Amino acid sequence: MAARPHQHTSSTPELDDRLSKITELARLVESTSVEAPIVTKRALVAAAPLPRTARVRRLVEQRARTARRRVHSRRFVKLGVALAAVMVAGGAALTAASGAPAPADPLANSVRAVAGAPDLGPATGMRLNASIADMAARPQGDGYWLAAADGGVFGFGQAQFHGSAAGQRLAAPVVGIAATPSGNGYWLVAADGGVFSFGDAPFEGSIASRAFSTLAPIVAIESTPSGHGYWLTSADGGVFTFGDAQFEGAAVAVHHGAPVVAMAPTPSGYGYYLLSADGGVFAFGDARFQGAPVDGTHVATGIVLGAGNRGYQVSRSDGAVVGFGGAASIPAPIDLLWNQHPTVALASTGHGGIWLASSYSPPPPPVQDLSQDPFLKCTRAHESDSAGGYQARSSDGLYHGAYQFLQSTWNNVARAMGRLDLVGVDPANAAPADQDAVALYLYHHAGAGPWGGRCAGLP
């Protein structure tokens, strides 16, 4: 069955601008440069619309500027060396970076139970090494797992811990988790297509273990009804099958205005839905298109089948759930402080209840004059203060500016920031304030690693 594309009902300049930014983020991975960042689903939902309350708008705008992604620099391992060193064991591809630990926060990295779902926690934010990327419910509806970007797994209710990828050097951040039909295991998938199996989840293959890889990042994994296979989907709408998963079509050739962020299979295993960040829904196989929450305002983050497999429900980054085909809708929380941290995933009890997981969006540093930021001052002292300052160039000509950027790294970070005016500009010729901003953006997404780890731990 061919895909049934959604219809855009309305648009606004604000949404068009945000969607163009998240589409640009998805396109970054098409670069063959080893410095290309891995764009995760958290990066795609960071463009969520802001609430109208002025004070909260400012808070949210600050926290929505960053989304954890990996950006290579001169001290990261070159791609050819990294691929040669990759060891695929149970689908686990090794090597990568995680950002600084997310500080304790009442709403970050927490779960909200709605529509009768049991409140299993965490009711307050967990202190994690990396933020929550996805969640998966036990098919029995009595618990769920949360997966963090660094491969950590956290079980709640009757969801038992069977292992995690935390502590391994991942080639890309973890972006998805799927439970086995028995509820006694789960899979994790990373943005590069590496698959990790735990409990009774069988490893059936991965993109990372093939001789080729998708140009767009993987954003989701879903189990087949038998548990002997799974689907992976990528941000460009590609679908990859493993084990007994059936290919029913993909959205690669179908026009969609924003990257795909989630997937939901039908009970038969002969169909599935794909969801794009602008709310577009694409139905394949025996999946029936019954509407899409494209309203020109909100960003979609997850999709599940409705109670009794009737219709489907789509979560938005503001914490609302929109139902179609008889599935219930749930309004966004009245407390706008929930919008400080975007909702990135949802899971269903199967009986009408919904769990919504939020991630963490750190605020930018309070320093107004970025050049005086402690990390930047320390880094300049090591990189350029005695070699030309903001106009410094390395002796081999590869690294330019106060923070000694490779041109390709500079370009990728500038794109991720939405500063397309800086793409292609020689870092050494850029204004000092722009060099400060690009370096600080990279630091808050990749830590001090790009500069050899020096000055780590500074504000």
pLDDT digits (tens, 9 = 90+) for 412-424: 888 777 787 888 8
Dihedral angle of Cα 102, 107, 109, 113, to the nearest 10 degrees? 170
CA distance 306 to 284: 17
pLDDT at 340: 67
Band the pLDDT of 369: cuts 50, 70, 90: confident
Amino acid at 393: R
Cβ(36)–Cβ(72) below 8 Å: yes
Q: Apex CA 22: angle with CA 434 and CA 346, to 5°?
A: 130
| Band of pLDDT at residue 43, cut at 50, 70 and 90 | low
Contacts of 108 (CB under 8 A, 6+ apart): 102, 125, 131, 340, 341, 358, 359, 360, 361
Mean pLDDT of the chain: 78
Return the closest-CA partner of residue 142 out of 355, 296, 452, 318: 355
Report how far apart, in Å, the C-alpha atoms of 166 and of each of 84, 157, 194, 219, 430 are: 22, 21, 14, 19, 39
- How remote is the C-alpha of 310 from its chain's centroid? 28
Torsion over CA of 251, 254, 256 and 260, rounded to 10 degrees? 10
pLDDT digit string, tens, across residues 235-246: 889 999 999 999
pLDDT at 122: 87
Listed ranges 20-24, 164-168, 301-305, 367-371; the one with the highest mean pLDDT: 301-305
Helix (H, G, I), strand (E, B) or coil at 316: strand
Predicted model pTM? 0.65
Taking the domains of the chain in order of start, what are their residue ranges?
79-358, 366-459
**Fold of the CATH domain 79-358:** Methylamine Dehydrogenase; Chain H (2.130.10)
Residue 274 has pLDDT above 60, yes or no: yes
Q: H-helix or E-strand containing 80?
A: helix 79-85
Residue pointed to by tokens 């500027």: 65
Q: What is the mean pLDDT of residues 95-105?
A: 41
Could you name the CATH architecture of 366-459? Orthogonal Bundle (1.10)
- Is the pLDDT at 223 greater than 50, yes or no? yes
69 or 201: which leads in pLDDT: 201
Answer yes or no: is pLDDT of 226 > 70: yes
